[in-house]
A and B are shown apart, each in its own frame.
Chain A
Amino acid sequence: MDHLDELENQSIFILREAYKNFKNLAMLWSIGKDSTILVWLARKAFFGHCPIPLVHIDTTYKIPAMIEYRDHYAKKWGLNLVVGKNQKALDEGMNHEKGRIVCCEALKTQGLQCIMDEHGYTGLILGIRRDEEGTRAKERYFSPRDKNFEWNFKDQPPELWDQYKTTFADDTHIRIHPILHWTELNVWEYILREKIPIIDLYFATPEGKRYRSLGCAPCTGTIDSNAKNVEEIVEELKHATTTSERSGRAQDQENTYAMQKLRARGYM
Chain B
Amino acid sequence: MSNNGNNLDLSSRLMRLVIVGHVDHGKSTLVGRLLSDTGSLSDGKLEFVKDICEQQGKTFEFAFLLDALQEEQEQGITIDTSQIFFDTPKRKYVIIDAPGHKEFLKNMVTGAADAEAALLLIDAKEGVQEQSRRHGYILKLLGLTQVAVVINKMDLVGYDEEVYSKIKTEYSKFLESLGVEAREFIPVSAKLGVNIAELKDEMPWYKGPTVLNMLDQFEKKPRPDHLPFRFPVQDVYKFDERRIIAGRVESGKLKVGDRVIFSPSSKQAVVKSIEAWSVPKQPNAATSSESIGFTLDEQIFVERGDVCTLMDELPIVSTTFDANVFWMGKRNLEKGRKFTIKLNTQEVECEVHEFKKAIDASTLETLSNQDHIAKNDVAELTLKTRSPVAFDLFGSIASTGRFVLVDEYDVCGGGIITTYNPTTKEDKLRDEVRTRDFNWIKSDIKPEERAYRNGHRAALILITGEPGSGKGPLARTLEHNLFQNNFQSFLLDRRNVNLGVSADLSNSTVEDESARRLGEVAKLFLDAGHVVISTSNAFHKEDQDDLRLLANPYQVIEIQVASQPTGEPDITLSLDEAQDAKAASTKIQDFLKEKKILMGHNYSI
Q: How far is the CB of B94 from chain A (nearest CB, A)?
A: 8
A260/B69 in contact, CB under 8 A:
yes
A237 at the interface (CB under 8 A from B): yes
B414/A256 in contact, CB under 8 A:
no
B409/A167 in contact, CB under 8 A:
yes
B11 at the interface (CB under 8 A from A): yes
A242/B406 in contact, CB under 8 A:
no
B297 at the interface (CB under 8 A from A): no
**Complex formed: what's the CA distance from A12 to B3 in Å?**
25
For A161, the chain B residues whose CB sits under 8 A away are 113-114, 399, 402-404, 414
**Complex formed: what's the CA distance from A158 to B81 in Å?**
10
Assuming A130-B83, A169-B409, A242-B41, is B289 touching A9 (CB within 8 A)?
yes
A3/B13 in contact, CB under 8 A:
yes
**Complex formed: what's the CA distance from A242 to B2 in Å?**
7
Contact with B along A153-187 (1 / 0, CB 8 A): 11011111101010111000000000001011100
B449 at the interface (CB under 8 A from A): no
A16 at the interface (CB under 8 A from B): yes
**Complex formed: what's the CA distance from A10 to B114 in Å?**
12
A47/B244 in contact, CB under 8 A:
yes
B328 at the interface (CB under 8 A from A): yes
Contact with A along B514-525 (1 / 0, CB 8 A): 000000000000
For A8, the chain B residues whose CB sits under 8 A away are 291
Residue on A with the closest CB to B92?
A3
Stretch binding the partner chain, chosen from B272-280, B348-356, B475-483, B576-584: B272-280
Q: Could you tell me which residues of chain A, from 3 to 31, have a CB within 8 Å of some CB in chain B?
A: 3-6, 8-10, 12-13, 16-17, 19-20
A137 at the interface (CB under 8 A from B): yes
Q: Could you tell me which residues of chain B, from 298 to 356, have a CB within 8 Å of some CB in chain A?
A: 304, 328, 340, 342
The size bracket of the interface on A is 35 or more
B342/A158 in contact, CB under 8 A:
no
A137/B82 in contact, CB under 8 A:
yes
The size bracket of the interface on B is 35 or more
B268 at the interface (CB under 8 A from A): no
A117 at the interface (CB under 8 A from B): no
Contact with A along B40-52 (1 / 0, CB 8 A): 1111110000001
For A16, the chain B residues whose CB sits under 8 A away are 234-235, 246-247, 291
Contact with A along B138-174 (1 / 0, CB 8 A): 0000100000000000000000000000000000000
Residue on B with the closest CB to A44?
B277
B123 at the interface (CB under 8 A from A): no
B414/A160 in contact, CB under 8 A:
yes
B366 at the interface (CB under 8 A from A): no
For A131, the chain B residues whose CB sits under 8 A away are 1-3, 85
Q: Could you tell me which residues of chain B, from 462 to 516, have a CB within 8 Å of some CB in chain A?
A: none
For A76, the chain B residues whose CB sits under 8 A away are none
Stretch binding the partner chain, chosen from B104-112, B191-199, B257-265, B567-575: B104-112
Contact with A along B397-428 (1 / 0, CB 8 A): 00100111010111100100000000000000
Interface centre among B3, B94, B247 (most CB of A within 10 A): B3
Residue on B with the closest CB to A184?
B3
A244 at the interface (CB under 8 A from B): yes
For B109, the chain A residues whose CB sits under 8 A away are 158, 160
A194/B414 in contact, CB under 8 A:
no
Assuming A20-B235, A158-B411, A161-B414, is B248 touching A9 (CB within 8 A)?
yes
Residue on B with the closest CB to A8?
B291
Assuming A140-B110, A157-B106, is B81 touching A1 (CB within 8 A)?
no
Assuming A9-B290, A20-B304, A159-B110, is B6 touching A183 (CB within 8 A)?
yes
B240/A49 in contact, CB under 8 A:
yes
B287/A1 in contact, CB under 8 A:
yes
Contact with A along B235-268 (1 / 0, CB 8 A): 1010110101011100000000000000000000
B106/A158 in contact, CB under 8 A:
yes
Q: Could you tell me which residues of chain B, from 37 to 65, have a CB within 8 Å of some CB in chain A?
A: 39-45, 52, 55
For B187, the chain A residues whose CB sits under 8 A away are none
Residue on B with the closest CB to A154?
B79
A238/B113 in contact, CB under 8 A:
no
**Complex formed: what's the CA distance from A70 to B79 in Å?**
39
10 residue pairs A–B, Cβ–Cβ below 8 Å: A1-B289, A3-B12, A44-B277, A51-B239, A130-B1, A158-B106, A185-B5, A239-B7, A242-B41, A260-B70
Q: Enumerate the 3 nearest inter-chain pairs by beta-carbon distance, A residue then B residue, closest first.
A: A134-B68, A160-B113, A158-B106
Given contacts A131-B1, A256-B55, 10 further A-B contacts (CB under 8 A): A130-B85, A138-B68, A138-B80, A154-B69, A156-B107, A158-B328, A160-B114, A160-B404, A163-B403, A183-B6
Interface residues of B (CB under 8 A from A): 1-8, 10-14, 39-45, 52, 55, 68-71, 79-85, 94, 106-107, 109-110, 113-114, 142, 223, 234-235, 237, 239-240, 242, 244, 246-248, 275-278, 287, 289-291, 293, 304, 328, 340, 342, 399, 402-404, 406, 408-411, 414
